[in-house]
Structure 1
Amino acid sequence: MKGTGGMKVVLLMCLGIFVCMLDSTIMNITLPAIQDSLHTSLETSSWMLNVYTMTIAVLAIPMARFAEMFGRNKFYIVGLFVFGLGSALCGLATNGDYLIAARFIQSFGAAILIPCSMVIGIAAMPLEKRTLPLTLLGATQGLATALGPTVGGIITEKLNWHWVFYVNVPICLLAIGGAFLILTIKNESRVKSKIDWCGLLFSVTSIFPLNLVLIKGNTWGWDSTQAIGCYVITLVSIVLFIIVEKRSKAPMVNLNLFKDRLFTGSVITVTTGFVFLIGVMVLLPQFLTNFQHKTELQAALLVTPVSAAIFVFSQIAGLLTKKIGFTIPVMFGFGMMGIAYYLLHNLNIHSTSGQIILLCSLLGFGFSFVISSATIASTSSFEGEMLTASQSVFSMLRQVGVVLAVAIFVAGLTTTIHDKKQDVVHFAAQKLEQLDVPQSAKEKIFNETKKSITAEKQNQKANQTIISKAERQQLINSIVEKALSSIPEEQRAVAKEMVYKQVEKQVDEEIDHKGKIVKTYGVQVGDYALKTISSSFADLYKKSIPFVLICCLTGFIFREKRRKNLVNAVKLQSIE
């Protein structure tokens, strides 16, 4: 039976949210397989990931506004169709550029689905019963985001990377069928308004360059001409956007949203929460595969407890928030995430699977309180256009949090690894000076060692050789000639073969001895490099601990002004 309320609608919206948020992280582990299959460069591969989050961040606000004007339910179905079509095209991709274009189509559908799913799902229940749909929708966001790498790893290993995208098609078809059965399509309520073209323009020019510099800043340099240009465009566009929206009769975003304390707290909380969640979900699988030599599937399964904890505890967090307010759950959530980061600062190549599972469980446990509280607070008591506007901004800033996390943590890790590699090069040089090998061999060994250390893949080993075959032969000939020169000329022909064999044996024994010394040196440098470079992850998380704990203070944004209420109560009693 069609209608606008009920749990059926909420569950249908959870399905739309799930596929969209799942695809924001599902490629994290799958990307190497796609690179090998399509033979793409690192630059092209990065855009396969980044075009998705960037498009959602840029288009979430205008798509939500258009949905209000032309019908949320219709737009939801359109979003499912576009997302499913984009997913099918992604699976059919035969080169990197094709996949980027297909990902854009897919993300265009996601930019429609995410805010529409939130608004339709929330509006399906009465105001006094919002906690349940909000908790379910919030839990679905966090669960899908955290589950992405696991699903991607399993599908890639058991099938192939194409099915990472194909799997969305039947889900979208199922959701479209459900939408026609459950939602009101004909004569649904719409907002009669003009399109705020200036607001649309400045919202796009505010968000696009901001996301672009977050994605490319590490490559360009954060103080490069391109980066500074993005900063200026973003700042100017934000100012113009505020001016235009204040004067517009039908603004793209009603700026009165930010006068609401709960909404302001929610966007700050969700942005920072996703920064610290994605900071682990993006980097930890890389550590597990590159330094602990886990398979992609093993790495995916080890981070699965994040998803499991979010799924299990989000409902509890939502109910608790309803009873005691937002302050304590938000502070508790960030506190738990801070403990997870404390455990991460001890991460090393010998960390056990049990330790990884524990810290991932704590991270998911803490995040469940953060996302539940933020999602519930994001709606405040809004209805109608204000509800739609709140969810479009909330969705946009959540995606900004994802992009921000990748920018901060990848840039931080890149810088830390570079510094660690310089330490390893210095250690290698010191150890090399102590070796009893010729100076010419030392220079060759050092160059090979340095090349291996600074290589992008840490599992590469230097081909450390003291002497080439040609150099060996030249050395043997030199020694033989010197030895024969001390023998009477008439005896040289007879002695030459015997002298050659003796010299050859001596040279090979010396080369073998020096080779063992160099091999031991290589093992020492390799062990030191593995230990030192792998510690970059732990150092990065250690530096992040204070920031996670500082985020606990965001809970105070939600504190009610009890003193003012108490004064009003006293005045009322005095009048009586």
Structure 2
Amino acid sequence: MSMKGTGGMKVVLLMCMGIFVCMLDSTIMNITLPAIQDSLDTTLETSSWMLNVYTMTIAVLAIPLARFADMFGRNKFFIVGLFIFGVGSALCGLATSGEFLIAARFVQSLGAAILIPCSMVIGISAMPIEKRVLPLTLLGATQGLSTALGPTVGGIITEKLSWHWVFYVNVPICILAIAVSFLILKVRNESRVKSSIDWYGLLFSVSAIFPLNLVLIKGNTWGWDSSQSIVCYLVTAASIVLFIIAEKKSKAPMVNLTLFKDRLFTGSVVIVTTGFIFLIGVMVLLPQFLTNFQHKTELQAALLVTPVSAAIFVFSNFAGLLTKKIGYTIPVMLGFFIMGIAYFLLHNLSLHSTAKEIILLCSLLGFGFSFVISSATIASTSSFEGEMLTASQSVFSMLRQVGVVLAVAIFVAGLTNNIADKKQDVIQFAAQKLEKLEVPDDLKPNILTETKTAINDEGQSQKATPSFITESERKQLVDANVQRAMAAIPENQRGLVTEQIHKEVESQVDQEIANTGMIVRGYTKEVENFAQERISSSFAELYKTSIPFVLLCIFTGFIFRERRTKQALQPVKSPVIE
């Protein structure tokens, strides 16, 4: 029995709900992370794993779990995925330590690794072939929209409630979706693929994807040419070779390698991976720029990046219809060209960028991405049905998550290197200014040391003013000056004037300290302003470097040039489950 028919649209909307919560949680923590760090008192290392364990698990397990869903029932697996995701979300909200939150995010990501490929396949299969563009467009738009909407939702919830509710909000959604699933999905006696488990494929796919994701996440910390990184490269390369050999020999391969013989599918995975790299590169870093350098609240930053989501929501349906009319080449090229314009505007990002400028570039980014994601999603499925359709979506989901991890690795590494260079410029500037400062020479080393500490403290130099003299140092200075003054007075008269001299010396020392303090505060303010301007420019320079790569992606549209729309949108018959 098929779900196609009058209930098909209900199924598609249910699948959109499943996709929405999973993809939302891939970016929802980006703007919430500082609040979580403060609450749980976590290190930067622990905090990075809170983010990365989610996308890494999906990338590693999407293919095997999608295969198991085919074998044991997609609808059942979808409901199980909702349950696991809901439990994981509740545990995330209850977390009292960074380690607990990482474990809870892993549970949550297990549910997402089931939901993402299952939602795509069930949603696409719910409608007749001739109407396939509609669910494809809706599901593709939901993917892009929820990914872009994550920081906005995270910022609003964190500011209005607390970071715990970023996760708790998923629980009622999952409960509702489970209830609806039992009403509209066929759970009993659903069609299944009779097949054995491809254990070698499972082993080699995990051993290929895990070290690849690990080195992308840790490469900047380890060093890209470190022994740990080289081991990851070698394990990944060897595992890919062994995986291909195993899949060619397997009677029931986990991934049917004939997928990649299809020009449309190959083009779709290239486009979705690169598209997500450039989308996430902005969605991860721009909120940090707005909060750390323009001093926006989480809510203000979230609202400023909302136009990305709004543009994806508004234009994805139009992009899907355009793709159906004229094919993939022009929409893909147009999408990357518009994203390139957004990156061109981003290279002018500065402390003085206005809200209008931020809204404009975010709108353009979402507008361009809507063409990319719609074209890629439609192309990824247009040639397949049944078991091949499941295989295509599990691979598509995996590579999309690799794109997310790649984006975080590339852009965070680039930003980290830029900031390190800028900090050295600030330290050099501070040292030059200090040389000309009219303060005692013996105080200058202490001032410079504290200035360096402030600059290297996560780039937050604006938060610290060097305490150039401590209370004990002040007391020593007062005592030394009192002794010098007393030495000039006859010994038999010292008892009468000791208290008065001590007061006069203390007042004089305090006045000198106050005068020096004013000079140091002026120096500190000058260094702060220079640091703000210099370090904040790291973001603009990173986006400027990215512009040629975004524009180069325009040419990926030519992958589809040889195929005509009518041919491309007619699925090739392959093994069908139903």
Query: Do they superpose with TM above 0.5?
Result: yes
Match of 1:104 in 2: 106
Match of 1:42 in 2: 44
What's the secondary structure of 2:35's corresponding residue? Answer: helix
Give the one of 398, 405, 419 matched to 2:421. Answer: 419
1:275 and 2:244 are equivalent in the alignment: no
Q: Distance in 2 between matches of 1:313 and 1:332?
A: 13
Shift of 1:186: 2.4
Q: Distance in 1 between matches of 2:58 and 2:556?
A: 25
Shift of 1:156: 1.8
Match of 1:200 in 2: 202
Instruction: Write the mapping of 1:4-403 to structure 2, written as runs, cut at 5 A.
Output: 4-5=4-5, 6-403=8-405
Contact 2:335 2:371 in 1 (8 A): yes
Shift of 1:98: 2.4
> Structure 1 residues 449 and 249, CA, compared in 2 at 3 Å: closer, same or farther?
same
Q: Distance in 2 between matches of 1:86 and 1:477?
A: 63
Amino acid paired to 1:521: Y
Match of 1:3 in 2: 3
Q: Distance in 2 between matches of 1:19 and 1:464?
A: 46
Q: Distance in 1 between matches of 2:213 and 2:107?
A: 18
> Structure 1 residues 502 and 232, CA, compared in 2 at 3 Å: closer, same or farther?
same
Q: Distance in 1 between matches of 2:81 and 2:238?
A: 31
Q: Mean alpha-carbon deviation: is it higher for 54-63 or for 189-198?
A: 189-198
Match of 2:571 in 1: none
Shift of 1:150: 1.1
Match of 2:576 in 1: none
> Structure 1 residues 438 and 196, CA, compared in 2 at 3 Å: closer, same or farther?
same
What's the secondary structure of 1:27's corresponding residue? Answer: coil
Q: Distance in 1 between matches of 2:469 and 2:52?
A: 47
Shift of 1:41: 2.6
Q: Mean alpha-carbon deviation: is it higher for 244-253 or for 174-183?
A: 174-183
Contact 1:55 1:104 in 2 (8 A): yes
Contact 2:201 2:247 in 1 (8 A): yes
Q: Distance in 2 between matches of 1:413 and 1:190?
A: 47
Alpha-carbon displacement from aligned partner over 1:475-502 (angstroms, at most 9, x marks no partner): 4454455455556666666666665555
Contact 2:332 2:372 in 1 (8 A): yes
- Point out where structure 2 has 5 or more consecutive residues left out of the alignment: 568-578
> Structure 1 residues 555 and 482, CA, compared in 2 at 3 Å: closer, same or farther?
same
Contact 1:2 1:181 in 2 (8 A): no
Match of 2:523 in 1: 521
Shift of 1:32: 2.2
Q: Distance in 2 between matches of 1:66 and 1:374?
A: 25
Q: Mean alpha-carbon deviation: is it higher for 117-126 or for 153-162?
A: 153-162
Alpha-carbon displacement from aligned partner over 1:463-521 (angstroms, at most 9, x marks no partner): 42444444444444544554555566666666666655555444443333222221111
Contact 2:137 2:317 in 1 (8 A): yes
Shift of 1:24: 0.8
Match of 2:443 in 1: 441
Shift of 1:209: 0.8
Give the one of 534, 540, 543 matched to 1:541. Answer: 543
Match of 1:572 in 2: none
Q: Distance in 2 between matches of 1:430 and 1:100?
A: 45
Q: Distance in 2 between matches of 1:368 and 1:470?
A: 63
> Structure 1 residues 475 and 101, CA, compared in 2 at 3 Å: closer, same or farther?
closer
Alpha-carbon displacement from aligned partner over 1:67-116 (angstroms, at most 9, x marks no partner): 11122112111211221222222222232222222221211111111111
Q: Distance in 2 between matches of 1:26 and 1:360?
A: 17
Contact 1:52 1:104 in 2 (8 A): yes
> Structure 1 residues 482 and 177, CA, compared in 2 at 3 Å: closer, same or farther?
closer
Shift of 1:552: 0.8
> Structure 1 residues 59 and 342, CA, compared in 2 at 3 Å: closer, same or farther?
same
Shift of 1:224: 1.4
RMSD (CA atoms): 2.0
Shift of 1:462: 3.5
What's the secondary structure of 1:90's corresponding residue? Answer: helix
Shift of 1:43: 2.2
Q: Mean alpha-carbon deviation: is it higher for 304-313 or for 30-39?
A: 30-39
> Structure 1 residues 175 and 461, CA, compared in 2 at 3 Å: closer, same or farther?
closer
Alpha-carbon displacement from aligned partner over 1:138-171 (angstroms, at most 9, x marks no partner): 0000000111111111122222222222211221
Contact 2:279 2:365 in 1 (8 A): yes
Q: Distance in 2 between matches of 1:178 and 1:303?
A: 32
- Point out where structure 1 has 5 or more consecutive residues left out of the alignment: 566-576
Contact 2:141 2:312 in 1 (8 A): yes
Q: Distance in 1 between matches of 2:392 and 2:342?
A: 31
Alpha-carbon displacement from aligned partner over 1:9-50 (angstroms, at most 9, x marks no partner): 111111111111111111112222222333333222222211
Amino acid paired to 1:71: G
Amino acid paired to 1:399: Q
Q: Mean alpha-carbon deviation: is it higher for 53-62 or for 2-11?
A: 2-11
Q: Distance in 1 between matches of 2:153 and 2:365?
A: 19
Match of 1:570 in 2: none
Amino acid paired to 2:277: V
Amino acid paired to 1:204: V
Shift of 1:195: 1.2
Shift of 1:423: 0.5
Amino acid paired to 2:253: P
Shift of 1:2: 8.2
Amino acid paired to 1:343: L
The count of aligned residue pairs is 563
Q: Distance in 1 between matches of 2:501 and 2:106?
A: 74
Contact 2:336 2:368 in 1 (8 A): yes
Contact 1:54 1:403 in 2 (8 A): yes
Contact 1:4 1:183 in 2 (8 A): no
> Structure 1 residues 62 and 283, CA, compared in 2 at 3 Å: closer, same or farther?
same
